[in-house]
Amino acid sequence: MLPSVSTSDQLDELMTCRLDSGRKAVEPCSIIIFGASGDLTARKLIPAFYHLFKEKQMPAAFRIVGFARREKTDESWRAELREALGRFSRTQPVDDKAWQAFAGSLSYCRGDLTEPEAYRALKDKLESFEDAALRRNLLFYLAISPSQFGAVVEQVHRAGLLQRDGDSGWQRLVVEKPFGHDLASAHALNSELTRFAHEQQVFRIDHYLGKETVQNILMFRFSNSIFERLWNRESVDHIQITVSEKQGVGGRGGYYEEAGALRDMVQNHLLQVLALVAMEPPVSLEAESIRDEKVKLLKSIRPLAPEDVTRQVVRGQYFAGVVDGQPQPGYRQETKVKPDSNVETYVALKLFIDNWRWSGVPFYLRTGKCLPLGASEVRIQFRPTPHVLFAAACGARLDPNALTLRLQPNEGIYLRFNGKVPGMSLGVRPVRMHFSYDSEFGAYTPEAYERLLLEAVAGDATLFIRRDEVETAWQIVDSIRNGWEGKALTNREFYAAGTWGPIAAEELLAAGGHAWRDPQPLQ
């Protein structure tokens, strides 16, 4: 019998099931950032560590050592980071008292990534720390180009700082994407990383997996029986996953010419969301159990032969248009873009998952630049009602039920169903039940990097990508690129900036009797 409570807050506390009681503890450690002078360190990493410290989430003792080629002192590096924090912190103004306490743990080590002497100097600095745990528990963050990963890992190993089978303490590698540019390069990169470290020591970071609502997909699915019972081919007609971006490529034209939307977004973000939405229940909440199911799902995606790519994949490229009332140049007019570029800024796919749960259910994925709204969401469209009673009378105007998981912005969950319009006549109209994270919980949502960095320090790999997961995703992407080989964009694959994509993408869904449901601005 529940004890009596006097306030709704107390009731909420009683009804809250704490799942983090068995969470791995964060131990004292040293965090070494290679690429400490770079934009990622200033914009994301140091603000994330600062907020974790301020929220008392960091270990009782820790050190952050920046490693870069430029000549700096501890004081000058701290001053640079303090200035950057004033621009990039999610809370303003910066708490100077908290910053001063945090800054005491920051130090700088100058060195060239290719010089063995620099790594010996780094080792000397680490060995100067009084706490033994700060010398043996080491987290190496590679905020550098992937082409430098192998050399840095080898040098760290040769300096005696990274061991595959250490007697005491732990060492971990956190690496940023991109994880290669195709299957062969991803395999080579993974082989380089695991020459001197176990796979369990490698944490491949994708900031998208740190978002609150991406993680909530698993919670929503597997803790609510009313929805999990419907999560299969018997009830679901099709599923749409949209990751739209309002901005163009801007100053990233050079990078985009090499990557394109397929490599930049589909290989990681969209396939990750697909895996979470469609995977089978894991046997436990342990990291490897969850990652096993994600890999099994990706391996269940029906392979795409070149002729399948023609039927099931659409690419697009934006030309000049208007976004939010402002003129937007076409992709071919962007900086560092070839005037006759064939690179895609938009991709739409129709995929099938060949397993018992999802047999015959199409999954539609799309992402693009210069679309009308920046949003990420998953829409589960349920099967229409039988063509009798209201469906017979209303026809296509009777909208099928749908469940939408809004990942960003305005994170929430929306259930769409049909209701009677008030009045004397019998009118039916789609209505929506709306759950908003901000309205319900009112608590701060940590930045994705905060959550991911904390998990890396704790050694929890749940939100990080395993080697076989990376390589399976690249197999899917490579098959699409092979189908595009030697083919130029057609007129039906161009779209005006500020629109929802090319007409070929509309035709992709129309062929199956479906239509895109575009994300809507939400308040």
| HEC per residue, 223-289 | CCHHHHCCCCCCCEEEEEEEEECCCCCHHHHHHHHHHHHHHHHHHHHHHHHHHHHHCCCCCCCCHHH
- Give the burial class of 521: count Cβ atoms within 10 A of its Cβ; 0-12 exposed, 13-18 middle, 19 or more buried: exposed
Cα(184)–Cα(75) distance, integer angstroms: 43
User: Structure tokens of 253?
Assistant: 């034209």
Q: Answer yes or no: are the C-beta atoms of 331 and 317 closer than 8 Å.
A: yes
The one catalytic residue among 269, 387, 434, 514:
269
Cα(338)–Cα(426) distance, integer angstroms: 58
Neighbouring residues of 213: CB distance < 8 A, sequence distance ≥ 6? 405, 406, 407, 408, 411, 412, 437
Q: Answer yes or no: are the C-beta atoms of 153 and 202 closer than 8 Å.
A: no
- CA distance to 70, 137, 447, 452, 458, per residue, from 52 (Å): 27, 18, 10, 11, 13
Cα(205)–Cα(457) distance, integer angstroms: 13
Q: Answer yes or no: are the C-beta atoms of 361 and 233 closer than 8 Å.
A: yes
DSSP-based three-state secondary structure for 183: helix
Cα(171)–Cα(164) distance, integer angstroms: 8
Q: E strand or H helix at 166, and its extent?
A: none
Task: Specify the amino acid at residue 130.
Answer: E
Residue linked to tokens 């039927």: 311
Cα(12)–Cα(215) distance, integer angstroms: 21
Active site residue 181: no
Q: Active-site residue numbers?
A: 269
